[in-house]
Amino acid sequence: ELKHIKLSIGKLTLFRILFCLLILLIILFRGHFICLIGFLNCYLTWPFTSPVHIKIDLLNLSIKPSEHEYIPRRMHHILLGPLSSSPPSSWISARNSCIELHSNFEKHYYWTDNNSKEFLENNYPWFLKTWNSYKTNVQKADSLRYFLLHYYGGIFLDMDLYCLHKLDGLFHYLDNRVSSDEHIFLAVKAFPVGISNGFMIATRNHPLLQRVILNLELYNRNFLLPHATIVISAGPMCISIQIQLNRSLWNSILVLDGKENMIGGKTNTPIFRHLGSGSWHKADDMIFKNIPMNIQRQSQTFSISVIVFIIFIFLFFIGRNKNSIK
């Protein structure tokens, strides 16, 4: 009997130690936990509830000017690092194609290391420490685009997007879809969940972009896998997470749906030719794209499995705790 009591006390002590260690880990890595919870929330909820997805004929939208131009006609391209001084000829052609088709725009910006840093110093100096801490130029470019659209509004395009068609009709369409607070944001649907940040249109000071830039410091963490670190810290998953966490903003967010509009890899869409220059993608990109491979069919099963697993672990430890006390 005494041996049984000692064994029970030992199990209870071990449980308490493990519980304390778990709490300590959560405290020490609370930033990572917050980010990963947001990541899981995005993956698990997007297939069931997300902003309005639109399917429109991009080639036959009315070019009749809208009553009000809420979206500034400004175009942004970013190229940081060594390539900015001598860009690939294909990227120059791609950018020029967009400028030529939209020569009526108010301004066409080309952001490099020097003017990007100057822009942040003048308008968002509090972010410079985080921006300088990024390990890759991809993270710098990803984060910078949110600030540019927040400050100037307009359209952001990756350097490897070759314009095939004028976007005037799309701009007029969006001007007519602004929310009650005169805001609108559009991005293309990504696979398997979320949006792509390679093509975005937004009004100035859009609240979604405000939420994103205010959380960039929190999400600036190492998530072990190179691609995971890039997409969560400042990439497309970063903004997708904020979309799912801020449902009150959905009335001013539109997602361009349809497989034909997706811009992953080398492909042609109705309005773009994507040159597919994402050479920074690592092997772990496949891990992301296969969690799960078909999110629409497997998300519900995955969600139920996670819930059942959590309940099982909870009941297991509760049961052990009760047995230890008896």
Among 64, 54, 5, smallest CA distance to 258 is for 54
Contact 62, 33 (CB under 8 A): no
* pLDDT given for residue 302 in this prediction: 44
Q: Give the residue extent of every domain in the chain.
A: 51-291
Distances from the Cα of 169 to the Cαs of 63, 155, 253, 265, in angstroms? 5, 14, 18, 26
The DSSP code for 251 is G
DSSP bridge partners of 156: 76, 200
- Counts of helices then strands in the chain (DSSP H, E): 12, 10
Strands annotated E in the chain: 52-54, 74-78, 107-111, 154-157, 161-163, 185-189, 195-202, 253-256, 267-268, 272-274
Contact 89, 171 (CB under 8 A): no
Q: How are beta strands 272-274 and 267-268 bridged, if at all?
A: antiparallel
Does residue 227 come out as left (phi exceeding 0), alpha (psi in the -120 to 50 range) or beta?
Answer: alpha
* pLDDT given for residue 326 in this prediction: 46
d(CA 254, CA 54): 7
d(CA 175, CA 253): 13
Whole-structure pTM value: 0.81
Q: What are the pLDDT tens digits along the chain (326 aa)?
A: 544 555 555 666 767 777 677 776 667 667 888 999 999 999 999 999 999 999 999 999 988 877 889 999 999 999 999 998 889 999 999 999 999 999 999 999 999 999 999 999 999 999 999 999 999 999 999 999 999 999 999 999 999 999 999 999 999 999 999 988 899 999 999 999 999 999 999 999 999 999 999 999 999 999 888 889 999 999 999 999 999 999 999 999 999 999 999 998 899 999 999 998 654 444 344 444 444 444 344 444 444 454 445 555 555 555 544 444 44
Helix (H, G, I), strand (E, B) or coil at 107: strand
* pLDDT given for residue 284 in this prediction: 41
Question: Which token pair is 41?
Answer: 């929330």
DSSP 164-213: -S--HHHHHHHHTT--TTS--EEEEE-SSSSEEEEEEEE-TT-HHHHHHH
Contact 209, 142 (CB under 8 A): no
DSSP 128-142: HHHHHH-SSHHHHHH
One CATH from 1.10.3470, 3.30.460, 1.20.120, 3.90.550 for 51-291:
3.90.550
d(CA 281, CA 228): 10
DSSP bridge partners of 107: 74
Strand order in the sheet with 107-111: 52-54, 253-256, 185-189, 195-202, 154-157, 74-78, 107-111
